[in-house]
Every structure is written in C-alpha cells, then in structure tokens.
Structure 1
Amino acid sequence: MIFQQQFSLQTQGRGTINITREVDSLVRSSDITTGLCHLFIYHTSASLMLCENADPDVRSDLERFFSRLVPDGDPLFQHVDEGVDDMPAHIRSVLTKMDLTMPVTNGSLDLGAWQGIYLWEHRHRGHQRKLAVTVTGE
C-alpha cells in the first residue's frame, strides 16, 4: 500500500521548525501499520534533519557551526541573485538533506526518544515551503 500527501508551511526566516507532529499525523492517517515514511522538501535553500529534540542549544550550535562553515557574503560566491544568503543557503542544503526516510511501526513514526524532524530554513527571510510525505507498507 502507498500513501502520499503534500503539505506547506510558512517559515519565519533562518532557523529550525519542529515538524514531527505534522509528519506523524499524516503517517497515522495513512492506515499503514508497518513500513517506511519518506519525507521530501521541494526547495534548494531549505533542508530536513532528524535531530535532538530535547535541548534547543543543539540546533543553535548547528546554526552557529554552519554560519562559520558557510558564511553569508563570502566573496568566493558569484551566485548572489537574491542576496548575500543566496549561495550559502544552497550550499547548506547540499551539505544537509532534502529528504529523510524513517520507519513506521504500529501505525506511527518509530523515532528514538530524543529525535525530532526539523525543517531547517537557510534563508534570512521567511518562505512558504512545500513538502511531500510518502508512506509505503502494509
């Protein structure tokens, strides 16, 4: 059996948004009890991550690390059509992930105790982001 649903959300600019509940809700509505959930984001300047969900300092530290690794306004970058964060946002997305695959057990996501699903917006201004959830199994 296969279930697929798209959803959108508005970001507020660079940072992370916990989307675990939204994804798990779609998994639960799929009527699939055992299988896999694949999550995909349709953008090249935002990404997805499975990350620590108890201490927000983890996500803040990741943001600081990526700011050091891929600084905005670096003169190395030629692609600046949408501003100084344009190319860094694309690089951040390539270095992270635009999709995740997670197990489905007993009709819901089967994540670790301290895992959450996050959309990571890499642009400074907010954007409408579109995602697809595909659940396969029995």
Structure 2
Amino acid sequence: MKSFRKVLHFRLPSRRGLVNITKDVQKAIDDSGILEGLVLVNAMNITASVFINDDESGLHQDYETWLEGLAPEKPYSQYQHNGYEDNADAHLKRTIMGRETVVAVTDGQLDFGTWEQIFYFEFDGKRDKRVLIKIIGE
C-alpha cells in the first residue's frame, strides 16, 4: 500500500469564506499515482471545516445565513471563550460543519455522487491555515 501527503495553504481576506478545493484534491490524487484507495481531506485548524456538497451560490449563502443564526459572530460578549480572541462563533460553526471528509478513489478519480464537490470553509480568516490531503491505496 502506498501513501501520499499534500498540504494546501490558505489565508482568506475575510473572516468567513468558502473555497471549492475539488480540483486541488484531484491534482493530489494525480500526483500520488494511486488509482484505488481513499483520500482524507481535513482542515488542520479548529476554526475551519472541510465538507462535501453542491457548488451552488444560493446554497453557499444559505450556509452563511444558517450558521450565523445558530452561532452569531456578535455580540462577542455572549461567549465565555471570547476574551483573548473573538472567535468563539468560529469554533461552534466548525463543530457543526465538521472537520474532514473521506472519498473513495476509483481508477485514479474522486468517486463522487452527482454534484458532489469538496469545500474548505473558513470561519475565522485573515490568518494562515492549512488543509491536509492524505491518500492511501494502490
């Protein structure tokens, strides 16, 4: 069994942002030479998420509205965590959206269902963040 590791680096210009990283993940699979296996993609920061869904702008706005309703950024004073930092909402949003995703690799391709794409979602931007891509297989 072979394994391959790649790290993507992000520094988004706004507090929150959504990036389709599907092509980056497929490029890592291509570079790995692995044809059959699994790819793990995970956010390596506690205030960011990786997940799979449809790449549709209305849905992206729905995520923002829904998450802000569940864990509003302000007022900062509503959270016990906010003292040194003002990002308690980002921690909560990450918990809701999840840390990682795993996708089958078949014949060297992401083995997706219809419309599936991989996204990086940042909830506390303007800082350096990383996403790990780990591929195992043959």
- Scaled by the length of structure 2, the TM-score of the pair is 0.90
Once the two structures are aligned, what percentage of the paired residues are identical? 25
Where do residues 31-42 of structure 1 align in structure 2 (5 Å cutoff)? 31-42=33-44
On the 8 A contact 1:11/1:127 being kept in 2, the answer is yes
Where do residues 1-138 of structure 1 align in structure 2 (5 Å cutoff)? 1-13=2-14, 14-53=16-55, 55-74=56-75, 75-80=77-82, 81-83=84-86, 86-123=87-124, 125-138=125-138
Superposition deviation, residue 76 in structure 1: 3.5
Cα distance in structure 1, aligned partners of 2:5 and 2:17: 27
2:46 maps to a residue whose letter is T
2:85 maps to a residue whose letter is E
Superposition deviation, residue 133 in structure 1: 0.8
Cα distance in structure 1, aligned partners of 2:80 and 2:32: 44
Cα distance in structure 2, aligned partners of 1:102 and 1:76: 37
On the 8 A contact 1:15/1:63 being kept in 2, the answer is no
Task: Name stretches of at least 5 consecutive residues in structure 1 with no aligned partner.
Answer: none
Task: Name stretches of at least 5 consecutive residues in structure 2 with no aligned partner.
Answer: none
Show CA shifts across 1:34-91 (max 9, x none): 11000121101111110111x21101101100101111125431111222xx000001
Cα distance in structure 2, aligned partners of 1:88 and 1:77: 8
CA RMSD, 1 decimal:
1.4
